[in-house]
């Protein structure tokens, strides 16, 4: 599997319209996308994948799924099903509504790659630096805060 970086991935307009209409109060997945959009990009993972071979899934999207999986307490199967079936997950990952998603085993493979060497530490450092930049940039205004309680949805 190789990495073909996608940069500047935007939420497809129809996905955004349907996600907002069907979830006017928002969801955890929508909150994550709206507040942390661009936290990772595929180029951040470039040294995790070979340059040639069959194109793989977006590691930035997989990282987003892993965050949502943790926040919502989902198994790999449940998370993959949410990507396939839930509009708010498609919104969070900037996917077309008809995107078929991926097999649940992809998440374990991604975590295995994350566990190699110092990748997890480097990704955490990068994430914290970017979050710090986001919150510092918004310091004159009020910094974004997560919902008081994360909604839990049955998938």
- Model confidence over 15-36: pLDDT tens digits? 999 999 999 999 999 988 888 7
127 pLDDT band, cuts 50/70/90, is confident
Residue 11 pLDDT more than 50?
yes
Can you give the residue ranges of every domain in the chain?
13-135
3-state secondary structure labels for all residues of the chain = CECCCCCCCCCCHHHHHHHHHHCCCCCHHHHHHHHHCCCCCHHHHHHHCCCCCCECCCHHHHHHHHHHHHHHCCCHHHHHHHHHHCHHHHHHCCCCCCCCCCCCHHHHHHHHHHHCCCHHHHHHHHHHHHHHHHHHHCCCCCCCCCCCCCCCCCC
- Model confidence over 43-86: pLDDT tens digits? 777 777 666 666 567 888 888 898 899 989 999 999 999 999 99
């Amino acid at each position: 599997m190789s990495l073909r970086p996608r940069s500047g991935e935007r939420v497809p307009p129809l996905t955004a319209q349907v996600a907002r209409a069907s979830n006017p109060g928002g969801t955890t997945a929508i909150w994550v996308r709206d507040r942390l959009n661009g936290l990772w990009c595929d180029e951040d993972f470039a040294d995790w994948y070979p340059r040639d071979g069959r194109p793989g899934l977006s590691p930035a999207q997989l990282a987003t799924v892993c965050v949502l999986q943790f926040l919502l307490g989902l198994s790999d199967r449940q998370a993959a099903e949410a990507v396939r079936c839930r509009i708010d997950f498609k919104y969070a990952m900037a996917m077309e509504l008809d995107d078929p998603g991926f097999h649940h085993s992809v998440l374990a493979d991604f975590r295995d790659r994350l566990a190699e060497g110092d990748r997890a530490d480097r990704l955490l450092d990068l994430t914290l630096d970017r979050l710090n930049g986001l919150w510092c940039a918004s310091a004159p205004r009020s910094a974004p805060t997560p919902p008081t309680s994360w909604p839990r949805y049955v998938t």
